[in-house]
C-alpha cells in the first residue's frame, strides 16, 4: 500500500530549464491535485483533476501544465523554470464519492529549487 508517491524528492533546476514532477497513486482514486507551499505559508492549489482526461486550474496555475491520461498518474510540468517556482510541491488524491468525503492522501513532497 504505497499511497501517493512523488518523485523526485529533491531537485535543483537552472532558470529556463524544464522538468516534470511525477505523482502516482495506487488507491484507484479519481481525484488528484497539485499544491505548492512556500516558506511560512499554507498550501496553494495549482491544478486538479476529477478523473482521467479531465483537468482544471486552481489558484496559481501560471507556469505549470498537467495532464491525466491514466487514473494512477498526474504529472506536473514546468515548461521554463523561474526562481519564483522555488517551493515544496505536494500531490494529493482522494476518492470521488457522492456524498460524504473521506479525506485527501498527500505525498511526501518534492523540494524544488530554481537558481
CA distance 101 to 88: 26
Is 34 one of the binding residues for other proteins (CB under 8 A)?
no
Give the number of residues written for the chain. 115
**Given 1, 28, 62, 98, the residue binding other proteins (CB under 8 A):** 98
CB 16 within 8 A of CB 80: yes
By CB under 8 A, tell whether 5 contacts other proteins: no
- Per-residue binding string, other proteins, 44-63, x by CB under 8 A, is xx--x-x-----x-xx----
Stretch that binds other proteins, among 11-19, 28-36, 64-72, 77-85 (CB under 8 A): 28-36
Q: Using the rule CB under 8 A, give the single segment among 10-18, 20-28, 71-79, 99-107 that binds other proteins.
A: 99-107
Min separation Cβ 47 and other proteins, Å: 10
Applying CB under 8 A, among 13, 24, 25, 31 the residue interacting with other proteins is 31
74 binds other proteins (CB under 8 A): no
Numbers of helices and strands, H then E, in the chain: 0, 11
- Residue 2 CA from chain centroid, whole number: 17
Instruction: Output the CA torsion 73→76→57→94 (10° steps).
Output: 40
Question: Is 38 a residue that touches other proteins (CB under 8 A)?
Answer: no
- At 106 the three-state DSSP class reads strand
Amino acid at each position: 500500500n504505497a499511497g501517493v508517491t512523488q518523485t523526485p524528492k529533491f531537485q535543483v533546476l537552472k532558470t529556463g530549464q524544464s522538468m516534470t514532477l511525477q505523482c502516482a497513486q495506487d488507491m484507484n482514486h479519481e481525484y488528484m491535485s497539485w499544491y505548492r507551499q512556500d516558506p511560512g505559508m499554507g498550501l496553494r492549489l495549482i491544478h486538479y483533476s476529477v478523473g482521467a482526461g479531465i483537468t482544471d486550474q486552481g489558484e496559481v496555475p501560471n507556469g505549470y501544465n498537467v495532464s491525466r491520461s491514466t487514473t494512477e498518474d498526474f504529472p506536473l510540468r514546468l515548461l521554463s523554470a523561474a526562481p519564483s517556482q522555488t517551493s515544496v510541491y505536494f500531490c494529493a488524491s482522494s476518492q470521488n464519492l457522492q456524498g460524504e468525503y473521506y479525506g485527501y492522501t498527500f505525498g511526501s513532497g518534492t523540494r524544488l529549487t530554481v537558481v
